[in-house]
Amino acid sequence: MRGNMNREELIQNYLAGEFYQPYEVGADFRKEKLIGTVDTFLREYLPEKVLRLSFVKNFMPEYLKQKKHYVLENYFENIKLFLSNQGNDNVFAVNGSYSLMPLDYEKFDMVICSDILDMFDSINILEESKRVLNPEGYFLFTGVVLPDADIDGVYDELIKCINPVHSDYYLETDLKTFADLKGFDFIKSEKFVFRRNLKDMVSHYSKFYFGKDVMRGDHLAFLSENEALLAELYGFDGEEIDENYEVVLFRKKKL
């Protein structure tokens, strides 16, 4: 139950659940578009040494299936889950923090961060990714990105009400600015909109992972106060809502 867990335990519990039954991290409803787009990016830039952050179930683009690569996993229990359920001879598992990666300088051509940036320290992840990337190596991000029109982050605040491990989503321009400040040039992106059932999301988080004390805020009151804005920005109709999602490629700046 959430009341008996600290944040790290919450995240570990959440990611273990996501491995068994992907709902957000490597979700089935995004899988076809996400894997296809990531595979296209990989085949265009042809990285030889690839590092993935976190074991995401079924996240295996065709390009990586025949290529040896590393996965850095914050939680050792999740490595055991992967090895017992979905082991792959081409995957080298490394246990360690995303904020202090136990990896050599300039070791990789690409770091892939999929669906987890919003729950960890994004500053440290970008800084550590830059450190372990070769000169002009690539950082490939996939995740929810808010449209610039949502200047108050209304969708971000809504998700904070219902998902206890969520921290922050970036606005589209802010993500590029943040990456630029951390030493990365924007290269390209692919945008998607997925229609989500909000009632299903609330039910999933409150019952499947964390128990009835999941809510950090009154989401019904928040919806009532922001219904018009959510309808304008995200097509909210009282039950379903649009989710803006991107695959974004950055390149480490030249010195």
Distance separating alpha carbons of residues 67 and 133, to the nearest angstrom = 18
pTM value surpassing 0.75? yes
What is the band of 246 on the pLDDT scale with cuts at 50, 70, 90? very high
| pLDDT tens per residue across span 174-215 | 999 999 999 999 999 999 999 999 988 988 887 655 554 444
CA–CA distances in Å: residue 244 to residues 36, 53, 148, 155, 235: 17, 22, 11, 10, 11
| Token pair listed for 73 | 């996993």
Percent of the chain with pLDDT over 90: 64
Mean pLDDT in the chain?
Answer: 89
Query: What is residue 57's predicted lDDT score, i.e. its pLDDT?
Result: 73
Domains in the chain: ranges and CATH: 2-147+167-195+244-252 (3.40.50.150)
